[in-house]
Amino acid sequence: MTPPVLFLKNIALTFGGKPLLTDADLQVEPGARIALVGRNGSGKSTLLKIAAGRVEADSGERFLQPGATLRYLEQEPDLSAFETIGAFIDAGLAPGDDPYRGAYLLEALDVDAQADPKKLSGGEIRRAALARALAPQPDILLLDEPTNHLDLPAIEWLEAELRQMKSALVIISHDRRFLSGLTRETVWMDRGVARHLDKGFEAFESWRDTALEEEETEAHKLERKIVREEHWVTHGVSGRRKRNIRRLKELGDLRQKLATRGKTPGIVELSTAEGSASGKLVAELKNVSKSYEGRKVVSDFSTIIMRGERIGIVGPNGAGKTTLVGLITGKISHDSGNIRLGINLETLVIDQKRDMLKADWALKDALTDGAGDTVVMGDKTKHVMSYMKDFLFLPEQARTPVSALSGGERGRLMLARGLRTPCNFLILDEPTNDLDLETLDLLQEFLADFDGTVLLVSHDRDFLDRICTSVIASDGDGIWHRYAGGYSDMVAQKGSGVKSRAKDGPGTGTAKAKREDTAARSSSETDAKTGQKRKLSFKEKHALESLPGEIETLESEIRKLKAALSDPDLYSASPEKFNKFTAALEKRDAMLAEKEEQWLELEDLREQLESGG
């Protein structure tokens, strides 16, 4: 058997006077793929922090194979000590790590290496932290909600990237499809104990449900046995001169066993204040367009939304999903076209912006807005303790500050605050972030029973499939199309998933536009003497013929330099040679980019001239 590179054994930890972990184990073998799942507050993130060496357990054993490299992605990384994102990435590299992999990851995740972390959003900071965790390609990767703040193209890219890495993975995620595609083992955090399944997440939920059913049956049998034994104690002993001490002791043991089993986790009771019924028509858009600073965000879009529909809106970050929602709800004015809204609309937006929660708020005050012990739900009221219970908060958490809640608990709190308001048109913007799987199941059931209309902005493919009757997807350049069914149905109909927005570079965006503009101007120019359209000059023809060979030579030299720099002993053996190779690689990378751009411009020009402009 292959020895583990990391293991935790008999881990126990008490937090705030309450046992969080009582007897948790985790074993990570080379190349393992482990899903770490459980209820919000069950200790998943804490166990991962103990595994990463960030938190010390009260008792138990942690072992990391000497020389093994480990990287940990936390939910709320702190980059305040670094001047740039590039400096943050470089600080996570060790001698022998590929210095260019960080730049590749930042580009793939759309983060500027020169950006100041103090000026970035929480999502950008988290993507930078993900790049830092992946850059060294460590022996073990511990990832806490890696898909949060990623759009669909980035999630699918990350899934492919992790699949080809040799690192052992331990992943906490609410994204069912992400976990199903990557994992081969599952560890279920359940009432302080880690329960193991030697199959991936795809098999977990049926296994969990069976385990809980068997536990309920066993608990019922145990309770019935206690009733029988208590009957004997009451009536059987009185008829004897001497008590049966052994049976009394067994009864005590049975009671203790039942008490220490722990209660089966409860379920979230999601409900909302009832709004009046809207009209049959919710919204009608005809040839609607909207632009910002010359960029088309919505272009000539038409659709009709009827009462009771559940519509998903998908697209890469920056595609204009929020703008489209604003147009549909009438919150944003359109540039052209017509928008007609239905009657009696009571719109509620739950956008999961956790920064709307004040860190020093007590949980109770966040639910009552500081107004006593009553939660107002439309024209109904409910005691705050009862309302907390509906969302799986314990009475002792009433005075817990928001800052002390886990990410999942804050997600539940946002739902609890939002659903107090009467509505018949519900807008959910990324509602699944950090929520546990059971809460997602209940949210799904709630939406299925909701009498009104739902607009769902989400990057969670599985949740979209479970909820949506249709999907509106971005096809770039402000073009949106509507497809029947969920996300998988959309992929089947259009032949692809959500594509990334075009970025500046060879063949895309601004650079391509610049080349096309140059070629168009050149092809329309005429020779002043002959009055004929110009042709490629001798110098341009020569460059067009010679550049492919020069590009090929540079690519060969770059491959050799990268191979030399991949030697883990190069830096320690010869720092001068390492620095020389690094400088040479940077120079050739720049030359390659310049020559590729030059060749593309000339090729565009040739095509324009040959086609007659």
From CA 595, how far away is CA 540, in angstroms rounded?
13
* Overall domain count for the chain: 3
How much is the pLDDT for 265?
Answer: 55
The answer to whether residue 263 sits within a structural domain is: no
Report, in angstroms and rounded to the nearest whole number, the Rg of the chain calculated over CA atoms.
30
Range of the domain at 333: 281-494
Does one domain contain both 133 and 170?
Answer: yes
Token digits for 443? 């949210």
Q: Specify whether 21 is located in the same domain as 147.
A: yes
Specify whether 521 is located in the same domain as 407: no
pLDDT digits (tens, 9 = 90+) for 524-536: 344 434 445 567 7
Structural domain contains residue 307: yes
- Confidence bin at 370 (pLDDT 50/70/90): confident
Per-residue DSSP letter, 122: H
Per-residue pLDDT reduced to its tens digit, 170-225: 999 999 999 999 999 999 998 888 999 999 999 998 999 888 888 777 766 666 66
49 pLDDT higher than 90? yes
CB atoms within 10 A of CB 64: 19
- Give mean pLDDT, residues 326-344: 91
Q: Are residues 406 and 548 in the same domain?
A: no
Stretch 301-324: mean pLDDT? 91
Check whether residue 349 and residue 476 sit in a common domain. yes
For residues 464 and 517, membership in a common domain is answered with no
Residue 530 is assigned to a structural domain of this protein: yes
pTM score of the predicted model: 0.68
Q: What is the CATH number of the domain that holds 572?
A: 1.10.287.380
* 430 & 343 share domain: yes
SS3 percent helix, strand, coil of the chain, rounded to 5, is 45, 20, 35
Shared-domain flag, residues 196 and 58: yes
Q: Is the pLDDT of residue 313 over 50?
A: yes
Same domain, 351 and 389: yes
| Position with higher pLDDT, 266 vs 110 | 110
Question: Can you give the pLDDT at residue 512?
Answer: 39
Among the candidates 494, 521, 556, a domain finishes at 494
Mean pLDDT taken over the chain:
82
pLDDT, one tens digit per residue, over 574-608 is 888 888 888 888 888 788 878 877 877 777 677 66
Per-residue pLDDT for 516 more than 50?
no
> Any idea of the CA torsion for 491, 493, 498, 504, to the nearest 10 degrees?
140
Of residues 370 and 505, more confidently modeled: 370
The residue from 433, 463, 494 where one domain ends is 494
Answer whether residue 129 is part of any domain: yes
Q: Could you tell me the pLDDT band of residue 507, with boundaries at 50, 70 and 90?
A: very low
Percentage of the chain lying above the pLDDT 70 cut: 82
* Cα-Cα end-to-end distance for the chain: 69
Query: Is there a single domain that holds both residue 137 and residue 177?
Result: yes
Query: What per-residue confidence (pLDDT) applies to 289?
Result: 95
Least Cα distance to 468 among 448, 446, 438, 493 occurs for 448
Give start and end residues of each alpha helix (H) in 378-426: 384-390, 407-418
Please report where in the chains the tokens 């705030």 appear, as a residue: 16
Domain check: are 367 and 446 in the same one? Answer: yes
Q: What pLDDT is attached to residue 519? A: 41
Beta strands 470-474 and 310-314, pairing class:
parallel
Answer whether residue 87 is part of any domain. Answer: yes
Q: CA 139, 143, 148, 153 torsion: positive or negative?
A: positive
| pLDDT per position as a tens digit, 133-175 | 999 999 999 999 999 888 899 999 999 999 999 999 999 999 9
Cβ–Cβ under 8 Å, residues 75 and 45: yes
Give the distance from CA 357 to its chain's centroid: 20
Neighbours of 217 (CB within 10 A): 10
Q: Please answer whether residues 377 and 334 qualify as being in contact, where contact means their C-beta atoms are separated by less than 8 angstroms.
A: no
Question: For 10-84, where are the alpha helices, taking DSSP H only?
Answer: 44-52
Nearest to 392 by CA among 26, 42, 143: 42
Decide which of 206, 227, 255 is a domain's last residue: 206
Give the pLDDT score at 371.
79
